Amino acid sequence: MSSITRAVVAPVPGGPEALRIVERERPVPGPGQALVKVHAAGINRPDVMQRQGHYPPPPGASDVLGLELAGVVESLGPGASRFKPGDRVMALVAGGAYAEWAVIDETVALPVPEGMSFVEAGAFPETYYTVWSNLFERARLKAGETVLIHGGTSGIGTTATLLAKALGARVLVTAGSAEKCAASLAIGADVAIDYRAEDFVAAARAATGGKGPDVILDMVGGDYIPRNLDAVAVDGRIAQIAFQRGSKLSLDLLPLLTKRLTLTGSTLRARPVALKAALTAALAEHVLPLLAAGQARPIVDSVFPLARVAEAHARMDASAHVGKIVLVMQDGA
């Protein structure tokens, strides 16, 4: 067996053309880790930000791109016992997923449910962990409530729609075209708002009888922040997970008091493994049964071989996708 793995790095910041496929020594699993032969790796917005030089890996993490993967356990490091060689797993990693081989922490990995493909499994960890943490734990979305999800056709948006519907919430989404609104409705959203054609604040209020959504999930930031405060219901919760339009602005926070709001947010990549392990346990309890029943499985937009990683990133940059873009390694998925 070769000790070399092909992997994707971005030596200098830039567009998709900045990505390079390099040869590296195959990683060795440490205590509590497993070596995985990677079959598929999801592409996420943080990968684009890393390629552009805006989101460096946390200390100690691999410079190889990629935050989620699915594959087969090859060997175990000292003390690892949750999985055995030959097991199909999907895992969250702080880096290193765009490669033929990767090491994972066993506490931040889940078994791939029967009947779920490696491509679907490779599209699972990053968005499902993010959505569960922010929408259900921090924003406390409950059955019977209404949630407004910005970016309804993104990986996060499709995941949030699937999980919110599966767990009994009503879903409003925003999207940037009539076609994307139709795609959101097909995925399961109850109402889709074309933010280019109408004001999402007025539309969200109209869709909720003037009350506003109970919860808002936002990755846009910028000028959306005051509009979210305006749109959300009294006693509502807003979960901020990114700032695509920027994080700095002049803002009147009086609605936080007058509407008794909760504004929360978090990042995932730099969290300690122990905190990610707690999220893994929550997903095992609440989400794996849905996947095993064929529900709420990732929406896959497109699949690219590793050699075409630049094309995959170009599709992400164009925001043309509905759901997740996935890389597959040389021997496919």
Tens of pLDDT along 305-324? 999 999 999 999 999 999 99
Q: What's the full length of the chain, in residues?
A: 333
174-227 pLDDT tens trace: 999 999 999 999 999 999 999 999 999 999 999 999 999 999 999 999 999 999
CB 50 within 8 A of CB 10: yes
Mean pLDDT of all residues belonging to the chain: 96
Is the pLDDT reported for residue 102 higher than 50?
A: yes
Q: Which amino acid is at 125?
A: P
The full set of domain ranges for the chain reads 4-124+269-328, 128-265
DSSP 168: T
Task: Write down the architecture of domain 4-124+269-328 according to CATH.
Answer: Alpha-Beta Complex (3.90)
* DSSP characters over 33-66: EEEEEEEEEEE-HHHHHHHTTSSPPPTT--SS--
Cα–Cα distances in angstroms (integers) from residue 163 to residues 37, 149, 191, 267, 288, in the given order = 29, 12, 16, 19, 11
- pTM given for the model: 0.95
Cα–Cα dist 39/11, whole Å: 24
**CATH number for the 128-265 domain, one of 3.40.50.1860, 3.40.50.720, 1.20.58.100, 1.10.357.10?**
3.40.50.720
